[in-house]
Amino acid sequence: MKNFFSGTKFRICAAILTAMFLAVFISAVSESGASPVSSVLSYILTPAENLAVHISDALSDFNGYFVSSKSMEKQIEELESELNELRLQTVDYEKTKHKLEAYEDFLGVKEDNPDFSFVAGEIILRDTSDFYGSFTLNIGSDDGIFVNAPVIYSDNLVGVVASVSPKSCTVHTLFNPEISVSAYEIRTRESCYTESEYALSAEGFLKLSGLKKNTPVVSGGIVCTSGIGGIYPKDLIIGTVREIRNDVTGLSSFGLITPEIDYSKLSDVFVITDFEGKSDG
Amino acid sequence: MKKHNFTLSAIRRGIFFLLILVSFALQFIILPKTALPVPLLLLIPVCVAVSMHENELYSLLWGLFAGILWDTASPVTDGLYALILPAAFLITGLLTGYVLRNTFLTASLFTALLSLIPSVLGIFYTKGKLTSELLASVIKAECIPAVITSLIILIPVYFFVSAIVRRFSYERA
């Protein structure tokens, strides 16, 4: 081992580790939040990751085709090819239908909010080791995406852009403790804000803090963004109140809410790049 | 003879390169679409197995490659994977080269320890006070499943990498 520490290999290893340390430092202080190495590599990796997503989708389609054709063989051999063709068409139809439904929802949101500017993004990577379900989109600063841009699905708030590289961006979901959203409950109009804790997020809950001690908010109430702060537009749905509890201090209450959509099942989202009341800061 | 040795090394490292790429694609693109109850950290056992069969410099380079890939999927960690993984696999390569024997047991030990990296980073990036309740829930919900699944994945990966090294090494040829 002595030879290693006195040789050229050690110097090369030390140089690489120092460079990576500097990259971490630059990333920590930069506005984009992305490592410079990741930013440069996003030019190569994002198209490759897009391709991998499409290959993965194509393979899952092929698998469905294969399994079904096997079972069909036993039953009606003469209709096998025709049936499989129809099955493939159905898969295509279902996919297109799903996409169309999503776009119809977005169109509705756009009609209700003509001030919104959207960029559509596809989820290309999911960090399964992240506690709060962060994911990466195939759009980045080249598409007008910036840090803190709100991410929505239909009229539901999903999260916020946490870091941007030229060709991709990473999104923190509402379950991330770094995100707190100013909100209100639509029936009572009571102001509140969302928070997240590891234990609650593991059970699929967000914490609704800032409620009065004897709050009129009850289970089933819908919580929307208030628009205060200028990061999130007003009236995006955050979730539904499931439970109201008293705070340990006894001076206030808090609620447990669940988002309307399952973030782990999303494949396409929209990033809002501009809206009325957006903060310039 | 030298040229032949170079060709064998190139083939071996080409296979390692593909193995890491496939693991990355599985971990971040394909498996998250399935309804697996626990996250699978494929890159950790793969890089442990590879670095245990490489010299120190290559161990670091494979760790760097895996770390950069991981950071593209998780840049919220400020590029820390591209610093931690090369350092971790450099140590793995050094220990296997000079102190410990290259056995499945040693690989299991490294895998179990290194599988904790994402959970440790998760705690590091969790805003708020580090309470014993938080630590207990992270150990139960993240650390233990990560270690168990990584050790299971290590079994085929370690023997596959060993077989590749045996097949594409100069001594064998």
Question: Looking at residue A258, what DSSP letter applies?
Answer: E
Q: What residue spans define the domains of chain A?
A: 2-30, 37-174+267-274, 182-258
- Count contacts between A and B (CB, < 8 Å): 145
Over the range A97-114, which residues count as b (16 or more CB within 10 Å of their CB) and which as e? eeeeebeebbeebeeebe
CA A181/CA A174 separation, integer angstroms = 8
Interface contact B135, partner A, CB < 8 A: no
Q: Is residue B173 part of a domain?
A: no
Tokens of B115: 């599988």
By the 8 A CB rule, do A249 and A185 touch? Answer: no
Q: What does CATH list as the number for A37-174+267-274?
A: 2.40.10.340
Q: What does CATH list as the number for A182-258?
A: 2.40.10.350
Interface contact A94, partner B, CB < 8 A: no
Interface contact B120, partner A, CB < 8 A: no
By the 8 A CB rule, do A190 and A172 touch? Answer: no
By the 8 A CB rule, do A38 and B97 touch? Answer: no
Domain containing B87 equals 2-167
The answer to whether the complex's ipTM is over 0.90 is no
pLDDT (tens digit, 9 = 90+) per residue, B83-131? 999 999 999 999 998 888 999 999 999 999 999 998 888 888 776 667 7
Q: Which amino acid is at B27?
A: Q
Residue of chain A whose Cα is closest to the Cα of B68: A38
Nearest CB partner across the interface for B29, out of A13, A53, A264: A53
Q: Go through chain A and tell me how many residues it has.
A: 281
B83–A21 CB contact, under 8 Å: yes
CA B21/CA B25 separation, integer angstroms = 6
Instruction: Quote the pLDDT of residue B2.
Output: 67
Interface contact A27, partner B, CB < 8 A: yes
Residue of chain A whose Cα is closest to the Cα of B96: A1
Interface contact B122, partner A, CB < 8 A: yes
Instruction: Quote the pLDDT of residue B172.
Output: 45
Q: Domains in chain B: how many in total?
A: 1
Q: Are strands A135-137 and A169-173 parallel, antiparallel or unpaired?
A: antiparallel
Mutate to test the interface with A, among B72, B92, B121, B132 (most CBs of A within 10 A): B72
Tokens of A194: 């969302």
Task: Give pLDDT tens digits along chain A (281 positions).
Answer: 667 777 787 888 888 888 888 887 777 777 666 677 777 777 777 777 777 777 776 666 555 555 555 555 666 676 777 777 787 788 778 777 777 777 777 777 777 888 888 888 888 888 877 888 889 999 999 999 999 999 998 889 999 998 888 888 999 999 988 889 999 999 899 999 998 888 888 888 999 998 888 888 888 999 999 988 888 998 899 999 999 988 877 788 899 999 988 888 888 899 999 888 777 65
Interface contact A266, partner B, CB < 8 A: no
Mutate to test the interface with B, among A128, A164, A266 (most CBs of B within 10 A): A128
Task: Give pLDDT tens digits along chain B (173 positions).
Answer: 667 778 888 999 999 999 999 999 988 888 887 767 777 889 999 999 999 999 889 999 999 999 988 888 876 667 889 899 999 999 999 999 888 899 999 999 999 999 999 888 888 877 666 778 788 888 888 889 889 999 999 999 999 999 999 988 765 44
Q: Is residue B67 part of a domain?
A: yes
Interface contact A84, partner B, CB < 8 A: no
CA angle (A73 as vertex; A67, A75 as ends), nearest 5: 115
A20–B86 CB contact, under 8 Å: yes
By the 8 A CB rule, do B126 and A198 touch? Answer: yes
CA A129/CA B32 separation, integer angstroms = 10
A199–B134 CB contact, under 8 Å: yes
Interface contact A201, partner B, CB < 8 A: no
B72–A264 CB contact, under 8 Å: no
Interface contact B127, partner A, CB < 8 A: yes
Q: Which residue has the tokens 């096997």?
A: A70
- Could you list the beta-strand ranges (E) of A52-168: 117-126, 135-137, 150-153, 156-164
